[in-house]
Amino acid sequence: MPSWMLQGAPYKGLFILVLVFVALEYIFNTVTETRNAIFNATRSYQLIEEKLTYGPAAPNHTKKANLSMDLSNLHYIVTVPPALIGVNLSTTYVTTVKRESDFTAENGTSTDKPPCADITQTLYGRVPIRKYPIPSLESLEKKFDWLMPGGHWSPPKCTVDKRVALVVPFRDRGGHLLLFLQHMHPFLRKQQLDYTIFVVEQEGNGPFNRAMLMNVGYSEALKSGKFDCFIFHDVDLLPEDDRNLYSCPEQPRHMSVAVDMFQYKLPYPAIFGGVSAISTAHFKLLNGFSNCFWGWGGEDDDMSNRIRYHRLYISRYPITIARYTMLSHRKDPPNPSRYDVLKKGQKLFDKDGLNDLEYVLVMKKEKLLYTWILARLMNHTSDHHHR
């Protein structure tokens, strides 16, 4: 042992201190590395399939499915309680996962710009949510001067092969809209998307028709340009995790799986409300949403039935990623006849939807933060189809 280590207590103390410091740093690095490895593993992969097949005989069950993610082998595990699938054993489905790059490489476009790199490396996970104060329109326009007119942005130095339209049904929620735009533009830009936000406002004070506004948004967006993917988005929901990719996978995706207002639990497996993503091709196949739901509720359940009817299924991100904060507001009274309309709707999928959509376009304007569409909706009921 060197002689200086044997001389006097001060050196011994110093030596022990250094040893403790080295040990602490080692422990800290190991913990950080492990944490990063898990984190990178989860964010580098996009889960593309979920076999939350809730059985043909049980469309209206309300029990919860238990979703979890096995980080060690990157399998997404969905455990469905026996009652949901009508068998005696609890069933675990292990679904396939693919790297994001496995399927973004398809259909490359021919421009001078190179394709955008795998964005999953730049995502962090949780993002801050700001509910207060409500920003002014002017302050947002100043802050987001990188936007192009109509609430559009795309990566300037690389190309993305899919174009995304966000359709936001809207009326009387000015404060929420500003908070939504404040949150969404940086969120979508970070995901390196080629996106445009369409705010579709219903004219007048009659009962709100969320589904019909989404059909209007779809039709008007396609008149403005080519879009491959539609995300239908309530204005009061803010995504909490940037790994929740705003893209359209192979199957329609229900995105708002875990909402704070519902204790971050899926209310029931067939739910398709809040935020949902459907490719343009699938939306056409499904004939869009029904036009017959006036007032709160039911229209998303009808879309869920359409998806099943066309032998598609609802995919979802894990509950740890698909998290949302809901901005508080007075809830509209539920439409008491929604179950009746839902029942009648089963026979009307090919008659009620995009192919009988009627509205007057009162205004369409490219503002900096969004494309504003004001529409007068024509009255549609399921009885009208039965006549």
- DSSP-derived secondary structure letter, 211: H
Binding segment toward ligand BGC, per CB under 6 A, in 84-92, 134-142, 192-200, 265-273: 265-273
Q: Does 267 help bind ligand BGC (rule: CB under 6 A)?
A: yes
Cis amide linkage into residue 133, ω under 30° from 0: yes
Q: How far is the CB of 210 from ligand BGC (least distance, A)?
A: 9
Q: Quick one: which of 47, 50, 43 has its CA closest to 266?
A: 50
Q: Does 135 help bind ligand BGC (rule: CB under 6 A)?
A: no
Binding segment toward ligand BGC, per CB under 6 A, in 120-128, 182-190, 213-221, 296-304: 296-304
Q: How far is the CB of 234 from ligand BGC (least distance, A)?
A: 9
Instruction: Give the whole-angstrom CA distance, residue 86 versus residue 372.
Output: 47
Instruction: Give the whole-angstrom CA distance, residue 71 versus residue 76.
Output: 8
- Contact criterion met (CB below 8 Å) for 298 and 211: no
Q: Does 301 help bind ligand BGC (rule: CB under 6 A)?
A: yes
Q: At what angle do helices 338-345 and 299-309 cross, to 10 degrees?
A: 20
Instruction: Give the whole-angstrom CA distance, residue 341 versus residue 335.
Output: 10
Q: Of 265 and 364, which CB lies nearer to ligand BGC in the complex structure?
A: 265
Q: Does 234 help bind ligand BGC (rule: CB under 6 A)?
A: no
Q: Of 193 and 212, which CB lies nearer to ligand BGC in the complex structure?
A: 212
Position among 234, 240, 300, 352 found at the interface with ligand BGC (CB under 6 A): 300
Q: Using alpha carbons only, what angle is made at residue 268 by residues 172 and 335, rounded to the nearest 5 degrees? A: 40
Binding segment toward ligand BGC, per CB under 6 A, in 41-49, 228-236, 294-302, 377-385: 294-302
Site size with ligand BGC, rule: CB under 6 A: 8
- 309-338 residues near ligand BGC, rule: CB under 6 A: 338
Segment holding 180, helix H or strand E: helix 174-190
Phi first, then psi: what are they for 274, rounded to 5°? 85, -90
Q: Does 269 help bind ligand BGC (rule: CB under 6 A)?
A: no
Would you tell me which residues interact with ligand BGC (CB under 6 A)?
267, 271, 273, 297-298, 300-301, 338
